[in-house]
Structure 1
Amino acid sequence: MESDPARTRLLQLADERRVSLSRLSQMLGKNSSYLQQFVRKGSPRRLEEQDRGMLARFFGVDERELGKMKENSYVIPDQSRKRDWIDVPRLMVGASAGPGADPDGELVFDTIRFSWRWLRSMGLQPGHLSTIVVSGDSMEPSLRDGDEILVDRTLRPLRDGIHVVRVGDSLLVKRLDTGRPGKIMLISDNPAYPPVECAAPDVEVIGRVVWKGGRI
């Protein structure tokens, strides 16, 4: 099949954001092989307008990078503003702020739009960000059940603060105390939950919580 710039660009964007074509297909509400077939087999010949628009908003690019616009389309992309906003993926997992919860799998099901300027001022790179929902009350009052948290997955030296971690099969959101060599203390803000001491190798740090949002 002759190389198509739209297919090549889609692969490049997915690689930069570190998200699979399967997850992107599910975000569009399609079969998990939809975009794989589009890229590898040329079927469909072009992305549907709605799908192209959603992908463009997710990646923060001009729709025309992912295929030709319809001749009768009145949408005129504003090149000067295409980097003003970044769509950060929402993952279908819950970080437990309680005894622990089994992750459902990191499936992208939606996005939240953030200002590119704000992300840059915070020193955050879009390709390393995702959002998930807090489950439980152990981090109250800092984080409440149902809050949405922005997680920075950039690899950095471990430091104290609120992080999303995996311990065994459970995904947790806790404060980390790394003051003891070889140990990590998982601390809840809610005094009803005592600290839990873990051996450092037993704690996989997924990322640092850098922002929260939720209902008032």
Structure 2
Amino acid sequence: MNESTATLQLDILDDFTLRLKALVARAGSVSALAKKAGISHSGLLRYLGGGDPSRKVLVALAQAANVDLAWLATGHGEMTSGMPKQSLTLLPLYEGQAANDHAPPRLDPTTLTELAFCRFWLQRNGLDASHLKALIMPGDCMAPHFLPGDTLLIDITRKELADGQVFLLEDSGNLLLRRIQLEVGGRIRLVPDNPAYRAIDVDPASLAVVGGVVWSARLA
């Protein structure tokens, strides 16, 4: 490594260290930033001393201090830009594909990404982010009420099945969305809104309820 390269690397390191110190100042202390970002105090001190944080740690630090991730990682752009990070909350998101044209869509309940929602909008509509998971409708079994690509919010605290309401259920390691129909004798009928798919009569004791649909939206 030649002298100019070493100097350049030191400058980059020093710049990141200064940006990280700015985050500490915004948080109030090293301990406050570490706690808010969910990392150890010693780990944050290591980064302040020149350690190289992982991408996951960078994201956590940027979100904790409400600064732009690209600015924190590279120094380019504005320290804060766009919608304030604290106004957004990330909800677990199910995504999937319909099995085929004749089978209902099934989702892997362990495969989750994230989708951002406005925290103020959720609160205004009486929705608690800690109770919610999002779903991108993967097929047409619930058409025309829910179409492929629609975004749905599932309240995972809604476990009691209600007649006529739509619930996300787990069955044999997969997830399916169905309208509930209460039958005589305590039986439950799982009804797809699309008549091309078959309704199923089940014993309610066999069902694992993920939650009930509380909101949906689609592009015009």
Give the gaps of 5 or more residues in structure 2: 1-29
Tell me the CA shift for residue 140 of structure 1: 0.6
The secondary structure found in structure 1 opposite 2:123 is: helix
Structure with greater proportional helix content: 2
Quickly say closer, same or farther: Cα 1:178–1:149, change in 2 above 3 A. same
- Could you list the runs of 4 or more consecutive aligned residues of structure 1 that deviate by over 4 angstroms after TM superposition? 38-41, 43-51, 53-57, 92-98
- State whether residues 90 and 108 of structure 1, in contact with CA within 8 Å, keep that contact through their aligned partners in structure 2: yes
Say which SS state the counterpart of residue 135 (structure 1) adopts: coil
State the secondary structure of the residue aligned to 1:106. Answer: coil
- Provide the TM-score with structure 2 as the length reference: 0.61
1:211 has 2:218 as partner: no
> Residue 137 of structure 2 aligns to a residue in which SS?
strand
TM-score by length of 1: 0.62
Q: Which runs of 5+ in 1 are unaligned?
A: 12-37
Change (3 A) 1:162 1:9: same
What is residue 9 of structure 1 aligned with on the other side? 36
Q: Which amino acid aligns with 1:123?
A: G
Question: Higher strand fraction: Structure 1 or Structure 2?
Answer: 1
User: Match of 1:198?
Assistant: 202
State the Cα distance separating 1:142 from its structure 2 match: 0.7
Pairing 1:141-152 to 2, within 5 Å after superposition: 141-152=144-155
Cα–Cα, structure 1 residues 165 and 52, in superposed 2: closer, same or farther, change >3 Å?
A: same
Equivalent-residue separation in structure 2 for 1:95 and 1:128 (angstroms) = 26
Name the residue aligned to 1:174.
178
RMSD between aligned alpha carbons?
A: 4.0
How far apart are the structure 2 equivalents of 1:83 and 1:184?
A: 42
Superposed displacement of residue 63, structure 1 = 2.9
User: Greater Rg, structure 1 or structure 2?
Assistant: 2
Task: Name the residue aligned to 2:134.
Answer: 131
Q: How many residues align?
A: 180
1:108-119 to 2 correspondences below 5 Å:
108-111=112-115, 113-119=116-122
- Cα distance change of structure 1 residues 183 and 56 upon mapping to structure 2, 3 Å threshold: farther
Query: What are the within-5 Å matches in structure 2 for residues 8-157 of structure 1?
Result: 8-11=35-38, 39=40, 42=43, 45=51, 47=53, 52-53=58-59, 62-63=65-66, 74-76=78-80, 83-93=86-96, 99-111=103-115, 113-157=116-160
Sort the Cα spacing of 1:191 and 1:55 in 2 relative to 1 into closer, same or farther, 3 A: farther
